[in-house]
Amino acid sequence: MIQGLALMTAAASVWAAHPVVEMQTNQGTIKLELYEDKAPKTVANFLQYAKSGFYNGTVFHRVIDGFMIQGGGFTPAMEEKATRAPIVNEAPQSFQAGLRNQPGTIAMARTNEPHSATAQFFINVANNNRLDPPSYDGWGYCVFGKVIQGMEVVQRIAKQPTTAHGPHQDVPVTPVLIQSVKVLPGAN
């Protein structure tokens, strides 16, 4: 009995060690566990955007079934939101710590400039090891967490029909709204 209690206490402390965010979308709820011990600046950046309400009312603006769903930077009218300064790309560090662009992981989106990530993120729906360091540009895309609940919602979003919207490709025909992103109690 005492051993079982000790194991439950240890498991609870591991769970509480990582921030968990709840993302409410018009397709359902996604819960993400974030690994600040493996990508501290990236997780702090994401949490700052989440706590400020930045993601509320944005959309998954780029959806490619068999690849990933990307969001966190555009309104439903496909207007890009102003962001803070870019962060340092921690992909080599998170990769070294064992994080990979595998199904269900969340990573930072960026331009071709390795240190250009701001608010946009993507959730992998396939094994995208070509995005891991060293990748095509020597850096890769920083994985900083994983879906712990709601992978069926991620898959549902990935299956949405898409179209072009101005210069943007792979935009869902019907907007996939991120209604809210909140840090759950007990998380950092």
Residue 168's pLDDT is: 96
- Residue 176's alpha-carbon distances to 26, 69, 165, in angstroms, are 6, 10, 14
Residue 17's pLDDT is: 81
Q: Which candidate, 73, 10, 46, 27, places its Cα nearest to that of 188?
A: 46
**Average pLDDT rounded to a whole number, residues 3-30:** 70
Mean residue pLDDT across the chain: 92
Whether 127 shows a pLDDT value over 50: the answer reads yes
Classify residue 128 as exposed, middle or buried by CB count within 10 Å of its CB (0-12, 13-18, 19+).
buried
Residue 113's pLDDT is: 96
pLDDT class for 105, splitting at 50, 70, 90?
very high
pLDDT in tens, 144-176: 999 999 999 999 999 999 999 999 999 999 999
| The pair of three-digit structure tokens given for residue 177, joined into one six-digit string | 């709204």
Q: Which candidate, 103, 101, 120, places its Cα nearest to that of 158?
A: 103
CB neighbours of residue 183 within 10 Å: 16
Whether 11 shows a pLDDT value over 60: the answer reads no
| Calpha distance 84→125 (Å, rounded) | 27
Contact indicator for 149, 25 with CB cutoff of 8 Å: no
pLDDT in tens, 25-82: 999 999 999 999 999 999 999 999 999 999 999 999 999 999 999 999 999 999 999 9
Whether 116 shows a pLDDT value over 50: the answer reads yes
